[in-house]
Amino acid sequence: MSDKYQETSQNHEDILRKFDKESDYRVLSGFSAKIVAAIAIAFSVFHLYTAVCGVLDAMIQRSIHLSFGLCLIFLLYPARKEWPRNKVHPVDVVFAILGATAPMYIIIFYQDLVLRAGTVTTMDYVIGLIAILLVLEAARRVVGWPIVTIASLFILYALFGRQIPGQLAHRGIALPSLVGHLFYTTEGIFGIPIGVSSTFIFLFILFGAFLEKTGMGEFFIDLANAVAGWASGGPAKVAVLSSGLMGTVSGSSVANVVGTGSFTIPMMKRLGYKPEFAGAVEATASTGGQLMPPIMGAAAFLMSEFTQIPYVKIIGAAVIPALLYYFGAWTGIHLEAKRLGLKGLNKDELPKIKTILLERGHLMLPLVAIIYLLVKGFSPMKAALFAIISSIVASLLRKNTRISLADIINGLEQGARSALGVIAATACAGIIIGVVTQTGLGLKMGSTLVGLAKGNLLLTLFFTMITSIILGMGVPTTANYVITSTIAAPALLMMNVPVLAAHMFVFYFGIIADITPPVALAAFAGAGIAKANPLKTGLEASKLAIAAFLVPYIFVYSPSMLLIDVTAFGIIQIIITSIIGIIGVGSAVAGYLITDESFVERIIFFIGGILLVTPGLITDLAGLVLLILGYIMQQRKISKHVVKGSEN
């Protein structure tokens, strides 16, 4: 049994390494491991120090952050797949030294650089060019080719703007000037994304590492089992609940899939779900975790900085759409379970809610604390700092959750290692932003999309959705949002869509790329665990996530869903009609409500559901009439079957 467990565990690790570049790191031992651990712990201590004593000047804080990050990336992530994972290659040692020293050039010559005020010397140019190449290489190793390809295309666009025909053309930027802009200003690599990474995001990732040490992940899974394991299709609903809860502190869809899916997917298959559906359920639920406050895959902090909207308002606005997303997934799972006649698990097999809460309920205190502090007006940095402290204190309240000094030190190391993907992604995304600010590409792309839609808002939304999904394929959450908000959001802003609604719209569809074929990394990871067809799993996941394709349109047309200019009556009306509409659309996709649906019934339910999720009294009434009609048709069909059965 032990051998089988180890084999399964190894298989899941292989899947994680295959679909999540961030997890394909070296496992070192001996002196090399101690060196890496020392650097990682020093990295975390630096951030705790600045959280307590105050952040340094922007360029200095961000340079130190990038220096630590690049050094660790090159030590932990090999340049080639064939290189061994148990020792550091000499070439990577050279890269690590360069990665550590290139950003430090800014700190050493900080005064000179300030006095030169943008004038780039030959040495500045050489160091800057090396640093840009190092950032691209670090992103390739940790994040993957998609974001590196996009950033490289942007650099080429900046350099050869004169040769580009049409509206996107510009006068071109000389390489020294581009290097100076990208590396020696706060509009490129050291721009807002890495600025947020070097303050809020790192501390929240560190917070997540300490929560993991306390056993929060197991607590969420056990709690989800106790709440929903007994219901129809129980394990699938457990996947939705546990992944949603894990998503509050996690920053990776794929890591969520492997983490909770290794438990839920086998249970779903044993219950009777097809492998493709089981993998799709976990992928949909885990991807939704990136949309779930308070962290939202770290994008909430970036969104706050980009839009200049307070962080608390961002996470408040995200609550209702996220819950509707999960309600849509829950509906699809429930209807599939009813259609297949699947029961839940025996209650005797499940943990008791009371027991779980009594034994481990105190682990929730840090999450409660962080939300309370944010609502009270504390900065995200201070809130995260106190949350880290509270997670350690909370673990000490009971013997079975108590963490040791070794766990705390290990948490400091794991937190730094977990931040490396975000560092590489935000630094690389800074290159994209730097090109956009120098060339005005964002406005040009926005004008192109609006022109293509001929000023029609619905068509503009559709084209922006497609653009966001394409840009989001294979890109982690933080970089995903940076890219989509820079390239796609301007089109919506030109159509007078509220800033928050525009940014949330592109964010949603960038995230949904994780379960949208052909590059559906979360769905493919779920398929790997379920031993299912990846493409079919991606299609099933897209069907389950139907709410994610509808909700963003709702909050653009009715921003009150994001708590913008909201009234109590208005928000209640939108929530009720959206819930009923999602049930209608979900039943049409599943082909089942109270019995199997005919093609005509599915069309009726789909149109009725769409009308209900579209704001407006007339559309709501029309949608309600159609859903009632569809329900009556289903009831009559059941009655006919009952009559025929009694006659036989």
Rounded Cα distance between 137 and 66, Å, is 13
Average the pLDDT over 380-400 and give the result.
Answer: 90
Interval 297-310: pLDDT, tens = 778 888 999 999 99
- Return the DSSP state at 595: S
Average the pLDDT over 323-338 and give the result.
Answer: 88
Round the average pLDDT of the chain to a whole number and report it. Answer: 88
Residue 444 has pLDDT above 70, yes or no: yes
- Phi/psi at 268 (nearest 5 deg)? -65, -40
E-assigned strand segments in 341-477: none
Say if residues 162 and 172 touch (Cβ distance below 8 Å): yes
Would you place residue 569 in the very low, low, confident or very high pLDDT band (cuts 50, 70, 90)? confident
Average the pLDDT over 493-516 and give the result.
Answer: 92
- pLDDT at site 258: 80
- pLDDT at site 137: 97
Say if residues 28 and 160 touch (Cβ distance below 8 Å): no
Rounded Cα distance between 193 and 201, Å, is 10
* Residue 450 region by backbone torsions, left for phi larger than 0, else alpha for psi between -120 and 50, else beta: alpha
Say if residues 572 and 320 touch (Cβ distance below 8 Å): no
Interval 357-368: pLDDT, tens = 998 999 889 988
- The pTM assigned to this predicted structure is 0.87
- pLDDT at site 642: 64
The more confidently predicted of residues 18 and 419 is 419
- pLDDT at site 5: 41
Interval 195-252: pLDDT, tens = 999 998 899 889 988 988 888 878 888 888 888 877 777 778 888 888 777 766 666 7
Interval 70-128: pLDDT, tens = 999 999 999 988 888 899 999 999 999 999 999 999 999 999 998 887 788 999 999 99
Interval 552-564: pLDDT, tens = 988 898 888 898 8
559 CB neighbour count, 10 Å cutoff? 20
**CA 172 to chain centroid:** 34
- pLDDT at site 2: 46
Would you place residue 648 in the very low, low, confident or very high pLDDT band (cuts 50, 70, 90)? low
Would you place residue 568 in the very low, low, confident or very high pLDDT band (cuts 50, 70, 90)? confident
| Residues listed for the chain | 648
DSSP secondary structure letters along 469-526: HHHHTT--HHHHHHHHHHHTHHHHHHTT--HHHHHHHHHHHHHHGGGSTTS-HHHHHH
The more confidently predicted of residues 619 and 249 is 619
- List the structure tokens of 221: 């899974």
Least confident among 15-19, 513-517, 588-592: 15-19
Average the pLDDT over 374-388 and give the result.
Answer: 88
The more confidently predicted of residues 347 and 137 is 137
Average the pLDDT over 179-198 and give the result.
Answer: 94
- pLDDT at site 573: 84
Say if residues 303 and 309 touch (Cβ distance below 8 Å): yes
Can you give the three-state secondary structure of 180-219, one letter per residue? HHHHCCCCCCCCHHHHHHHHHHHHHHHHHHHHHHCCHHHH
Interval 13-22: pLDDT, tens = 777 777 777 8
Least confident among 155-159, 357-361, 567-571: 567-571
